Structure 1
Amino acid sequence: MKVLVTGVTGQLGHDCVNEFLSRGVEVQGVSSKDFSLTDGAATENYIRNYQPDVVVHCAAYTAVDKAEDEPELCHAINEEGTRHIARACAEIGAKMVYISTDYVFPGDGDKPYEVDAPKGPQNVYGHSKLAGEEAVQELLKKYFIVRISWVFGIHGKNFIRTMLNLAKSHKELNVVNDQIGSPTYTRDLAVLLADMVHTEKYGVYHATNEGFCSWAELAAEVFRQAGRDVMVTPVDSSAYPVKAVRPKNSRMSTEKLVDNGFTLLPRWQDAVGRYLIELQSESLL
């Protein structure tokens, strides 16, 4: 098997490449230095020339608030860029993994969203990622659309690293408690994706670490496991106004993974513990 991973400089792309390498799979990671997703000819030519069996598309425009001011660029990357990749995959007969997001849902209620629940993105980023999903489904039959949320990994910025940095200078932090979801550790997700591409169990999946929490609960657990003496004060999201609407309910059902014989990701608390060990091993803690 020959695999191409986009977004290699990001958290998930980095871990996907390492996971495939650890399995002895021929893999190539690419970034915007190799080709721009906004350049359809360059994107499609690169894939045609490399001739992968699978493209794992991790690259995306992810600046959620900035996207409100740059909707055209956000859609050019997340929608049209994805369309270019899907078109090339269709041409060469490759499987495609498209990484999507909980932001495709309206974010209301308190029940986990099933994979086929009605969509209703509330911001530009969510609309662009949903449009990317639709492009994949329109052009391909051999696809895995995998929605994730609250991502953290060793290779980049994320909420956990932000909290740990703030803990160096704060003994008390106010953290939002009215947004509920599931953290996703990219090392765990990379294992699942590497398993998935060896199958023909195509379709739409939700893949996060098991269990739900608020951002405040996640911060408190990080400080507890890291041995940081920081008090977390839960606050309403209205205390931190942002340009892009954030979903209050980011819960997603992972039942389809079980139905198709895939192993669920470990519980989020366990993932946090292993991530902290990884940060320590890299002298980042």
Structure 2
Amino acid sequence: MKRIVLVLVALAVMFMIVPVYAAEMKPINIVINGEIFVSPEGEPAPYANKDQRTLIPIRFFAEKLGVPNDEEHIKWDQASQTATITDGTNIVEIPMGSKEIRVNGEKVLMDTVAEVKNQRIFIPARYLAEGLGANVYWDQEDQTAVFMTQEYIDNHRVKKTKRAMDIDDPYLALEYYDLLSEKYRNIRSFGDSQTFLKRMKEARALANKIKIDVDKENGTASITLPKYDKDDFYIILDTVTDGKQYLDAGTYSVAFKDAMEGRKLFYIDISDRNYGAAVLYGLYGMIIDDEFMAIEGTKGFDMFVSLN
């Protein structure tokens, strides 16, 4: 399996080490298939053990990686004090109080022991994720542990469209840089997957600052573009209904009263200005089933084409 290391911090600390002096560090986030991992309400959260490792509850973590949460796939053997997790392809056996686990029958040595807390079994996330075939990354800048299953990667829309604007999870930039750079010179200009990831994160942060307020009664939408550095990125709001383009921060109005079904009202592109003007984000506004909708990526364009 191809490994892309976000920051070579010696696999920085075997991936999930939390120093005792962590009070001065950002808290570690865990992201699985684009979503922040949070233990269910009332269940113990990930924690740092005496070996300064961040441990995760195996049942709920495995479930987020696609393992069914049932006795067939997550088992406990009282006699041997061993938990077994299988996704139907891989089998991970975790004996309590041991640094050694088994993955598909092969011994794997962890850097800390499996523990029990509040009747839940905990181990370092990396070992369980890799045992179940997931890709593992460490984002040092954001103190984020990132896990992606192969199913998530293979079934994402960007694999079909090969368009950067369809990367709604910035960490997918790590997986799809090679594919997109083969097709587009402007993606290739980023030079490597880490730079591509950095710019995707920055473009997404800008996109999150765009505000759209809809006034259904009067049939208008107010679109607010954030302040940004035009030497760094390029935001274009094209109001198709009146044929105008806006590039500056501010609030602009788009009328959609009596607009036809499937009518494109506006679109917004965010392009990179430093690495070949690649479009990293797109948003289409249109009327569907008499409702105003804003749709990200090429889905909006495809929907427009299908309705016209």
- Taking structure 2 as the reference length, the TM-score comes to 0.22
Flag the structure with larger Rg.
2
Larger % of strand: which?
A: 2
Larger % of helix: which?
A: 1
Q: Which has the higher contact order (CA 8 A, sep 6+)?
A: 1
- Taking structure 1 as the reference length, the TM-score comes to 0.23
